[in-house]
Amino acid sequence: MSLQRRTISVDGLTTHYLEAGLGEPVVLLHGGEFGVDAETAWERVIPALAERYRVLAPDMLGFGGSAKVVDFTDGRGMRIRHIARFCAVLGISSAHFVGNSMGAVNLLVDLTSEAPVLPVRSAVAICGGGEIQKNRHTTALYEYDATPDGMRAIVAALFLDPAYPADTAYVRRRYASSIAPGAWESLAAARFRRPGLEPPPTPSSTRAYRRIAVPVLVVEGAGDKLLPAGWAA
């Protein structure tokens, strides 16, 4: 497998992505925690998928090598529209989508909207629902202090396998991504909203899941440290 790192302009916004394999396109959408990007999220998944599919894994806006954009109105909608345009620029009219955490939430928000914009043929939503629990792991996510130890705590919160936070090189890569110019601002903007605006849509039990017109697999982690057991039921 040859993994290609590419950069294109999507409506004037620098967009970095990984590409590997041939076949039907599969678009991978990473999570939304500090320091994540397409490569650190999907590097152990891409080789297997690339044996059968054309894999495209973009850095979403604000992450990795993509443009650092601050949005105080609808950051989720901004990223959904950007991925739709990313697909259009690459000539992708239909694809299988896999989203993890924020990427999964974005998929479900779009699929349950009145006018979906993503070219989804089928979807896998991994750990993209339920109410986030309040514990030391969520504290690590929300109170990140931009230090190597803080990043190690985030990695420990995200992975069940203790080998990940023990992997100093992996933690260092995510730390470097988290302190890139504009990275913190892009992610932290989600905590703030312009006064007077209605909250943006999020998946919930009251959303119109009947609108989903494609096959969707919802995946819940048995040892998830952030979401309550049984949320996907």
Non-local (6+) Cβ contacts of 125 within 8 A are 99, 104, 105, 107, 108, 216, 217, 218, 219
Give me the helices (H) in the chain, please. 38-42, 46-50, 75-89, 102-111, 136-142, 148-158, 163-166, 168-178, 183-188
Angstrom CA distances, 64 to 4, 70, 201, 204, 213, stand at: 15, 14, 25, 29, 32
Confidence of residue 19 (pLDDT cuts 50, 70, 90): very high
- The closest alpha carbon to 187, from 142, 129, 222, belongs to 142
Give a yes or no: residue 139 inside a domain. no
Which pair of structure tokens corresponds to residue 89?
A: 């620029």
Specify the higher pLDDT residue, 118 or 141: 118
Instruction: Give me the mean pLDDT over the 222-232 stretch.
Output: 76
**120-167, pLDDT tens digit by residue?**
999 999 988 777 778 888 888 888 999 999 999 999 999 999 999 999
Q: Determine the Cα–Cα distance for residues 66 and 1; give it in Å rounded to an integer.
A: 24
Contacts of 31 (CB under 8 A, 6+ apart): 41, 100, 101, 102, 103, 158
Residue 150 lies inside a defined structural domain of this protein = no
Classify residue 185: in a domain, yes or no. no
Q: Which domain holds residue 20?
A: 4-132+192-219
3-state secondary structure of 130: coil
**What are the residues whose beta carbons fall under 8 Å from the beta carbon of 79, sequence distance 6 or more?**
60, 61, 62, 106
Q: How many domains does the chain have?
A: 1
> In whole numbers, what is the pLDDT of the chain averaged over residues?
90
pLDDT per position as a tens digit, 174-202 = 999 999 999 988 888 776 666 666 665 55
Q: 119 vs 129, which has greater pLDDT? A: 119
Any domain includes 226: no
Q: What percent of the chain has pLDDT over 90?
A: 70
Is residue 89 in a domain? yes
Residue 38 lies in a domain: yes
pLDDT at 41 over 80: yes
The whole-model pTM stands at 0.91
Q: Which residues, other chains included, contact 200 with Cβ-Cβ below 8 Å and sequence gap of 6+?
A: 73, 74, 75, 76, 77
Provide DSSP, 166-187. Answer: H-HHHHHHHHHHHTSTTHHHHH
C-alpha span between 26 and 98 (Å, rounded): 7
CA distances for 32 relative to 17, 38, 106, 213, angstroms: 16, 11, 10, 26
Residue 223 DSSP label: T
The verdict on residue 142 lying in a domain is no
The pair of three-digit structure tokens given for residue 49, joined into one six-digit string = 């998928």
């982690």: which residue's tokens? 221
Confidence of residue 1 (pLDDT cuts 50, 70, 90): low
- Whichever domain contains 25, its CATH number is 3.40.50.1820
pLDDT of residue 205 exceeding 60: no
